[in-house]
Structure 1
């Protein structure tokens, strides 16, 4: 029961003590993953960039520093109102200048136009989606032809979380997620092992084909 409650808060933090604790955990646990998801996305100054499940906004903050061109635009989606408001405060300046827009929405119904996103990234996210194929199709819909999507995770930690019931089912398995991406129109889907500050993590890459 406790494992399921922890998993629920990780996937959808709320205004509560457990939600606050999860936020602190995300800052400590996700920072390297967020920074590297941004780095591996190869963001260019005039790109339109989307973070999925942006959480407290650390990845958004990192990506915003790279979008210095006049057409550079940052988008974010999260279905936790708590995370949406926290991230909105973190990048308030970019939002006020029209350089960033955050949506309080689930992935499938995100109000983003088709074929508008150059780069999309997320970390520690896909295992909480109720339907991987629907989520992958939603990402593919908004990507430009040739757009790049990057996911970062620490597979060892995810495997442990699944073993104690924090994550349930098979959606946490990278191969299941990668199959969903391929069936939704992505190509060159691959997972690579990476290292940062002696911390091993994995990155999944996919290219949108239209």
Structure 2
């Protein structure tokens, strides 16, 4: 039931599409989504022209939903999805990746600073990451979203990311997305 809600709630669909729009993916990009849920961002990445999209989620239910939503792209070899937690990524997902994204999943990661450092090592030099969050607890406000942005920025810096850029989508509460890059030559620009 939760997966159905995630897939059909307008704010979830808008949030995922917005994050993908910030990434300016290219046909040569290899993209990894951590916590793909029902596969909304995966589908948006395919539509945006990403070369190959990989994804992990710790829920077999989400894997089934995302696989169904992206069945054609999976058959074409453009999408590879796996049932795995972020702290035990399958060997097939060693990278290197041009882009990594996570939408509303970071709060569920064990030792998020360590996970972000591992993801940085899987990125090409200059590769991009996008970590988005829309606080969903009762009473969440713009200040709650801003606090989340500061925490994500701190985690990304401690994991060795550079060129941080925080964006806001004005929903209630606001969605924040912190964009950053792995050290090295620019792997693409961030819009």
Task: Choose from 124, 135, 138 the match for 1:144.
Answer: 124
* Paired residues of 2:131 and 2:179 also in contact (CA < 8 A): yes
Pairing 1:3-152 to 2, within 5 Å after superposition: 20=1, 22-27=2-7, 28=9, 29-67=11-49, 72-111=51-90, 112-114=93-95, 116-152=96-132
**Partner residue of 1:203?**
177
1:183 aligns with 2:163: no
Shift of 1:87: 0.7
Q: Is the alpha carbon distance of 1:65 and 1:161 closer, same or farther for their aligned partners in structure 2, counting shifts above 3 Å? A: same
Gap runs ≥5 in structure 1 = 1-19, 163-171
Matches of 1:160 and 1:61, distance apart in 2: 31
User: SS of the residue aligned with 1:160?
Assistant: coil
Structure 2: distance between partners of 1:50 and 1:207? 14
1:110–1:195 distance in 2 versus 1, CA, 3 Å: same
| In 1: Cα distance, 2:150 partner to 2:33 partner | 21
Q: What is the rounded CA distance, in whole Å, between the counterparts of 2:139 and 2:58 in structure 1?
A: 25
Q: Is the Cα–Cα contact under 8 Å of residues 131 and 152 in structure 2 kept in the other structure?
A: no
Counterparts of 1:75 and 1:59, CA distance in 2 = 11
Aligned positions, number: 175
Residues of 2 paired with 1:118 and 1:59: CA distance? 16
Larger radius of gyration: 1
Indicate the SS of the match to 1:173: helix
SS at match of 1:45: coil
TM-score, with normalisation over the residues of structure 2?
0.81
1:50-69 deviation digits (Å, cap 9, x = unpaired): 1110000111111111236x
Could you state the TM-score of these two structures normalised by the residue count of structure 1?
0.74
Contact 1:36 1:152 in 2 (8 A): no
Give the Cα separation in 2 of the matches to 1:159 and 1:147. 35
Quote the offset at 1:207 in angstroms.
0.5
Q: Any idea what SS the aligned residue of 1:25 has? A: helix
Q: 1:129 to 1:160 in 2, by over 3 A?
A: farther
Quote the offset at 1:158 in angstroms.
4.9
CA deviation string 1:131-175 (max 9, x = no partner): 1112212221211111111122234x457369xxxxxxxxx8332
Distance change (3 Å), C-alpha of 1:141 and 1:91: same
Kindly report the root-mean-square deviation, in angstroms, between the aligned alpha carbons of the 2 structures.
Answer: 2.4
Structure 2, unaligned runs of 5 or more: 142-146, 185-191
- Say whether residues 1:194 and 2:136 are aligned partners: no
